[in-house]
């Protein structure tokens, strides 16, 4: 039997999927040079790119059939939405014939606005009907651990951003929590 996988995997954006604050480090207009993969150039600031492992992580979650969400408290939601619409995610490793996809097509839900992450997850729960215990969340700010009060499993992202190793560690933490809850119910 394959290991369990969360029904919903959510990510903060700033310093979780890319290495900047979208509301302070860059300014529009944003553009992509042709079909350049994983790079958007702002008028001011460094190029915006996903951390190196993020494209493969997104493909993995999509392959597992889980709901993918962005949960960001940025004060520049329009910038974040625009960049997600411009970033081209390369095809999965080993599938060179597949076409690159815009990053926003990976995200089934986008809760991108200022405010508590509790609100973001309550809205995701209401929209999807997915129980909080079936949600896994990656974020770089420890204050957002507050979502664990709902039953969401949160993984704190270091300054290295979301790596494949951290993603796998998060899955294991989620599985252990789920296993201990299952044992308690029996």
**Whole-number Å distance between alpha carbons of 180 and 151:** 13
Q: Can 14 be counted among the known catalytic residues?
A: yes
Q: Can 19 be counted among the known catalytic residues?
A: no
By DSSP bridging, strand 8-11 and strand 27-31 are unpaired
Write down the catalytic residue from 14, 19, 53, 140. Answer: 14
> Which residue numbers are catalytic?
12, 14
């Amino acid at each position: 039997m394959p290991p369990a996988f969360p029904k919903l995997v959510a990510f903060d954006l700033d310093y979780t999927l890319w290495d900047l604050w979208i509301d302070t480090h860059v300014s529009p207009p944003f553009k992509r040079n042709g079909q350049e993969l994983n790079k958007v150039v702002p008028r001011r600031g460094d190029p915006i790119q996903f951390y190196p492992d993020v494209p493969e992580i997104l493909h993995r979650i999509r392959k597992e059939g889980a709901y993918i969400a962005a949960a960001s408290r940025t004060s520049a939601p329009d910038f974040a939405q625009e960049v997600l619409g411009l970033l081209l995610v390369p095809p999965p490793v080993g599938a060179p014939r597949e076409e690159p996809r815009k990053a926003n097509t990976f995200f089934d839900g986008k809760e991108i606005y200022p405010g508590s992450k509790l609100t973001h997850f309550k809205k995701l729960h209401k929209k999807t009907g997915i129980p909080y215990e079936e949600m896994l969340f990656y974020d770089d700010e420890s204050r957002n651990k507050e979502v664990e009060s709902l039953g969401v499993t949160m993984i704190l992202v270091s300054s290295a951003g979301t790596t494949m190793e951290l993603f796998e560690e998060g899955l294991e933490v989620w599985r252990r929590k789920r296993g201990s809850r299952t044992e308690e119910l029996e």
